[in-house]
Amino acid sequence: MKKQIAAIIFVLLSSLAYAKPKIENINVVHIKADNVIYNKQSNSYFAQGKCEVYTDKYSLKSDKAYFEKNRSLVTLDGNILFKNKNGDWIRGSKAVFNVSEYKGFINNAVMFIKSAHLYIKARKVIIDSKDRYYINNAMATGCKCDKYLLNSKKYHPKWSIKTKHIYIVKDDYMLAYPATFKIRQIPAFFSPLMYRNLNKKRKSGFLFPSFGHSSKDGFKYAQPFFWAIDKSKDITITPFLYSNSGYGTYLDSRFYLTKNSKGEWFVTLYKEKQPYGTSKSKKLRMTIKAKGATNLEQYGIFKYDLDLVSRKNDFRVINKDNMDISSKRYTKSTAFYFVQKNEYSLGINTYFYQDLVSKNNQNTLQNLPEINFNVTNKKLWHNLTLDLQNILKNNYREKGTKGISNYTSILISYPFKISHFSILPKIGIYNTYANWKDTLTSQHKSKNILLHSYSVKVKTILNGYYFYEGNSNLLGLKHTITPYIEYQYIPKKDWSGLPDFILSYKNRNAIVTALENRVIAKFIDKDGIKYREIFYNKLSQEYDFYKEDSQDSHFGKLYEETRISPFEFLSFSSKAHFSTKKFEFSDMDNSINITTKYTGASLGYLLKKDENYKITDKNMKLNIYAYPIKNLYLYAYLEKNIHNHYYPQKRFGFMYTEDCWGLGIDAYRNQTPKENENGIYTRRSDTGFWITITFKGLGKIKTQNKQWMKQ
């Protein structure tokens, strides 16, 4: 074995002849090799065998190295490997590098840019400075392969970019021009200029476009542009085009003004090409969705949530048999201020609604504003507790009944225990006041209603513990049984003659009984001890002495809630009300979920009936996904409205990925509204798809944002 020889050479990059150098301008160069020969006459070093020339910022490895100290020049030959601190590297056969000026070149090179995961192959890579590289007649790809790195002329990566010039500014950007995109050896796309951001920080620039097609809108194309205004604000501007129905622009603005103030605005402008295939003129419509919050710390919190549309009839989902069933009846915009100090709180809320079914908004009731004052869990004496709420509302609309309403509730409670039983008695006083005007008759009226309530709740908790020994991962079970009984009384009051915006209290004289069962399992695995709820059930029954519901007996609907999860991959949940007189369910919401490493499925069933037990909604939702092979993801989603005999949504798709590329398709068939010449709405199917293409190292062609798709 050859004896290892190491030499350390100090090279001063700044001139020592005229000025004393600063410490930061001194660069220390190290040389390591199996053999190092020093030539005193030429002041140079020749190294051979596992050569390495390095500083604290980069390293150069080769079979041979020749270092001219006077010129600060290193010539390397054979198996060149250049590395910097960022993880970028360049391989080649021969290199010349000036350690003083950080300039040089590497022949027959393959370069790797870590931040972009890009490989660049060229006959020569020119290093102009520590931050800049020039490359001519190059090929770039995100595919990693040994044959490509070994300069095999027969092998071609799965995708590549052939370009004449590449200019790289490290940790900033890469510019290639002109550029031809290839699939294997086949040219697929040409661009006079290709830009790639190498900065991990947010930076302005074009994002990858989105492509799709639908039977309603035709070919769909969107080209987003990201504008990084500063560190705390940005805007994504997305012009989009639907070949059949129109074009528009979507704006997504995000801001983070301070650590306590942030928000996001969505604005869409859409110009119809020819609405709904009719001879009507083009129309411009706009939607605004916005959310924001400001934390004023001890002075409270301010939030807003806006949902506004300019032409509301275009945004509802239509059911020709019953519009109210499937329509989104209102949009809701809110502004909210809340401040709290100990048990006291004050809230000021403003609600603005847009009616999407009516032709105008004149009859729509608004709350402008609503003021809430609350005292919560105020201790008066020992366990004696006060809860107080006062709500003052300004109920406004252009046509119809409008006015002021005020609600006050006072609850006094005194919880205590007797043996194993917790007892909670409550006494309540409620006052409702209204002062209103009918805009049609110009009549003013007012009314005040005062009532009281009583309730007492008795509750206990029983626990059982079961421990297991052996090889099982199950260590034990905890079974909790919680029965309770509650009596509630609210006297009868005459609420007739009051306007529709009054919050009334339903009279009650009822006993409510409930029983809860919960089982929690304790497991141990490689990550330690875990707990999981494997069973929960609640049964609740009411006995009403008033028997107000003519459809039922004194016994009200039986409420049932269940959650079962015997294994981590399996869960079932159910909520339902069951009439013991009609012997049928009035509503039901069930779901079952199965999840494994390679597949998963969920099935949901929803049933709703009105007070006369007529079905108002009945649907099923099925969602399935699977990984049949490592690189392939499949999914399908189906929603069926059983009551109205149609499928609101059908979706399926796949995503196939390999080491440096991926391809996916999301196909769908939805039910959308259609308006004819007479203004009548009917349902129609909209069938289409979106394409997702991923190129590792370049980016992803995908649907950038869901908002503009909904136009």
Domain 1-99 superfamily per CATH: Lipopolysaccharide (LPS) transport protein A like domain (2.60.450.10)
Token code pair at residue 490: 């609210």
pLDDT tens digits, 698-708? 887 776 555 44
pLDDT tens digits, 678-699? 656 667 788 999 999 888 888 8
Token code pair at residue 526: 């490689």
pLDDT tens digits, 376-392? 999 999 999 999 999 99
pLDDT tens digits, 200-236? 777 788 888 888 998 888 899 999 998 988 888 999 9
CA distances from 302 to 216, 257, 291, 369 (A): 41, 14, 11, 14
Token code pair at residue 659: 């080491």
pLDDT of residue 651 exceeding 90? yes
Could you tell me which of 19, 21, 68, 25 has the C-alpha nearest to residue 47? 68
pLDDT tens digits, 148-172? 655 666 677 888 889 999 999 888 8
| Mean pLDDT (whole number) for 512-534 | 92
CA distances from 399 to 163, 233, 309, 365, 439 (A): 68, 42, 21, 9, 6
Domain ranges for the chain: 1-99, 102-202
The β-bridge partners of 608 are: 587, 617
Could you tell me if 241 and 270 are in contact, meaning their C-beta atoms sit under 8 angstroms apart?
A: no
Could you tell me if 329 and 317 are in contact, meaning their C-beta atoms sit under 8 angstroms apart?
A: no
Q: What is the residue-wise DSSP string for 35-74?
A: EEEEETTTTEEEEEEEEEEE-SSEEEEEEEEEEETTTTEE
**Contacts (Cβ under 8 Å, ≥6 apart) of 495:** 449, 502, 504
Could you tell me which of 124, 95, 119 has the C-alpha nearest to residue 109? 124
Token code pair at residue 341: 């100090």
The β-bridge partners of 133 are: 127, 168
Q: What are phi and psi of 297, to 5 degrees?
A: 55, -120
CA distance 14 to 100: 8
CA distance 591 to 337: 37
Q: Give all strands (DSSP E) within 298-365, no chain letters.
A: 301-309, 330-341, 344-355
| Mean pLDDT (whole number) for 537-555 | 79
DSSP code of residue 555: B
Model-level pTM greater than 0.85? no
**Contacts (Cβ under 8 Å, ≥6 apart) of 389:** 372, 373, 374, 375, 407, 408, 409
Could you tell me if 538 and 524 are in contact, meaning their C-beta atoms sit under 8 angstroms apart?
A: no
| Mean pLDDT (whole number) for 499-512 | 89
As to burial, measured by CB atoms within 10 angstroms (0-12 exposed, 13-18 middle, 19+ buried), residue 183 is middle
3-state secondary structure of 458: strand
pLDDT at 279: 55
- Give kind and range of the element (H or E) at residue 325: helix 323-326
CA distance 427 to 169: 74
As to burial, measured by CB atoms within 10 angstroms (0-12 exposed, 13-18 middle, 19+ buried), residue 85 is exposed
CA distance 644 to 501: 32
Could you tell me which of 300, 402, 303, 290 has the C-alpha nearest to residue 344? 300
CA distances from 82 to 96, 113, 253 (A): 11, 12, 42
pLDDT at 598: 92
Low-confidence winner among 6-20, 420-434, 465-479, 576-590 (lowest mean pLDDT): 6-20
pLDDT tens digits, 86-120? 888 999 989 998 888 888 999 989 999 888 888 99
pLDDT tens digits, 247-261? 999 999 999 988 899
| Mean pLDDT (whole number) for 269-286 | 69
CA distance 80 to 538: 72
As to burial, measured by CB atoms within 10 angstroms (0-12 exposed, 13-18 middle, 19+ buried), residue 212 is buried
DSSP code of residue 207: P
Could you tell me which of 636, 639, 686, 640 has the C-alpha nearest to residue 665? 636
Q: Which residue has the tokens 């199965």?
A: 594
| Mean pLDDT (whole number) for 190-195 | 85
